[in-house]
Amino acid sequence: MIVSGRQIRGARGLLGWTMDELAEKTGLTRITIRMIEAEDTQPQERTLTSILTAFDKEGIEFLENEGVAIRKHQMRTFSGKAGYRQLLDHIYETVKKGGRIRQFNFGDARYLPIDDDYAAEHIKRMEKIEGLDARVLVPEGEIGNPVSYCSYRTLDAAYKDIAPWYLYGDNLILPLTDGGNRRECVSIQSKLVAERYIREFEACWNTGGKPLKKHRK
């Protein structure tokens, strides 16, 4: 995701934030914020992720052609590595006090290794959550690298062509790709949609194959 300095200034303006307030919410310095907004420096991925996450929590979305707006709908798109990190943060913030995760028709090998370092940090913090009910249905033959906080079962081969999805809380994620290296995830926040997908998942889970052993070190 490419976000300009003018967009960041505009986002601050919509929220009435000063540079100092944005710095406090992101853990950055005021000087760093000023340089990014003036486009005197190109922010690193972690820095950009911190900024995007701070605005995302307040319902701010960045649009094409350097647009910025307060989100008025329940759909959003996470793009590229910065968007991927932002998505992991949103997953953690949503379920950090317990909750549900459902992962359908793809293994961890397609979910976590996009950015190994950040994924590893994400796994560690997820492992510490109490009351987390995380279940994964993986296609036959795609075991991947199961993580300790999830329970796994294999999915019948008849479902191999059904689109994969990931659900946490009431947020449904549909992973997309443009055929190249660029990845995007479309998020739909809806309790009704989530409950429908949960029912379908449970039906497949109850008829799924044998549980997989967790072997991540």
pLDDT in tens, the chain (217 residues): 688 999 999 999 988 899 999 999 999 999 999 999 999 998 998 899 899 989 988 888 888 888 898 876 677 888 888 888 889 999 999 999 999 999 999 877 666 655 568 888 999 999 999 999 999 998 877 766 688 899 999 888 788 788 899 999 999 998 876 445 567 888 888 887 888 899 989 999 988 766 665 544 4
Domain around 170: 75-206
In a domain, 217, yes or no: no
d(CA 141, CA 143) in angstroms, rounded, equals 6
Predicted confidence at residue 161, as pLDDT, reads 80
Residues in the chain: 217
Query: Do 120 and 189 fall within a single domain?
Result: yes
Query: Do 32 and 113 fall within a single domain?
Result: no
| Domain-ending residue, one of 40, 70, 100 | 70
Written as six digits, the tokens of 100 are 């549900």
| Domain-ending residue, one of 70, 89, 117 | 70
**Number of structural domains, the chain?**
2
Predicted confidence at residue 190, as pLDDT, reads 84
Q: How many CA atoms lie within 13 A of 36 on its CB side?
A: 25
Predicted confidence at residue 216, as pLDDT, reads 47
Query: Do 47 and 151 fall within a single domain?
Result: no
Query: Do 96 and 186 fall within a single domain?
Result: yes
Predicted confidence at residue 211, as pLDDT, reads 65
d(CA 21, CA 27) in angstroms, rounded, equals 10
User: What is the value of pTM for the model shown?
Assistant: 0.67
d(CA 150, CA 136) in angstroms, rounded, equals 7
In a domain, 25, yes or no: yes
- What is the domain-level CATH number for residue 98? 3.30.870.10
Predicted confidence at residue 110, as pLDDT, reads 65
- What is the domain-level CATH number for residue 64? 1.10.260.40
> Rounded to whole angstroms, what are the CA distances from 193 to 74, 87, 152, 200?
11, 19, 23, 11
